[in-house]
Chains A and B, each alone.
Chain A
Amino acid sequence: MPYLNHIKLGDWAVMLCGALFTIWLTVTLWQGGIADKAVIRSGGKIFSEVPLSRNQLIEVPGPLGITRIAIHNLQARIASDPSPRQYCVRQGWLKQAGEIAVCLPNQVSVELSGGRKRYDSLNY
Chain B
Amino acid sequence: MTASIIESQDRGSRIEERGGPAAPLLTQSSIRLQTTAEDHHLARMAALALGLTVLEAAIPSPLPGVKPGLANIVTLIVLARYGWRAAAWVSLLRVVAGGLLLGSFMAPGFFLSLSGALWSLAALAVSQHLPQRWFGAVTHSIFAAFAHIGGQLLLVYFWLIPHVGLLYLVPIFAAAALLFGTVNGLIAAHFLDSKIYHRDTEESCLISTC
Contacts and interface: CB of A to CB of B under 8 A. Distances in A.
Interface of A: 3, 5-11, 14-15, 18-19, 21-22, 25-26, 29-30, 119-121, 124
Contacts of B133: 8
Given A29-B167, A29-B170, 10 more contacts: A7-B138, A7-B186, A11-B138, A14-B139, A22-B174, A22-B175, A25-B171, A30-B168, A120-B165, A124-B163
Nearest to A7: B138
B135 A8 contact: yes
Contact of A26 (B171, B186, B190): B171
Contacts of B134: 8-10
Contact of B138 (A15, A26, A124): A15
Given A25-B171, A29-B170, A18 B142 contact: yes
Contacts of A14: 135, 138-139, 142-143
A30 B140 CA distance: 28
B151 to A, nearest CB: 16
Nearest to B143: A14
Given A14-B143, A18-B142, A6 B190 contact: yes
Given A3-B186, A25-B170, A29-B168, A11 B135 contact: yes
Contacts of A7: 136, 138, 186, 189
Give the most central of B163, B171, B186: most A CB within 10 Å.
B171
Q: Which 9 A-B pairs have the closest CB atoms?
A: A10-B134, A6-B189, A10-B135, A11-B138, A26-B171, A22-B174, A14-B139, A18-B178, A8-B136
Contacts of B171: 22, 25-26, 29-30
Nearest to A6: B189
B116 interface: no
B190 A3 contact: yes
A10 B186 contact: no
Given A10-B135, A26-B171, A124-B165, A15 B142 contact: yes
Interface residues of B, number: 30
Given A6-B193, A8-B135, A22 B178 contact: yes
29 contacts: A3-B190, A5-B193, A6-B136, A6-B137, A6-B186, A6-B190, A6-B193, A7-B138, A7-B186, A8-B136, A8-B139, A10-B131, A11-B135, A11-B138, A14-B138, A15-B178, A18-B178, A18-B182, A21-B174, A22-B178, A25-B170, A25-B171, A25-B174, A26-B171, A26-B175, A29-B168, A119-B163, A120-B165, A121-B165
A2 to B, nearest CB: 8
Contacts of B98: none
B132 to A, nearest CB: 9
A25 B175 CA distance: 10
A6 B138 contact: yes
Contacts of B193: 5-6
B130 interface: yes
Contacts of B168: 29-30
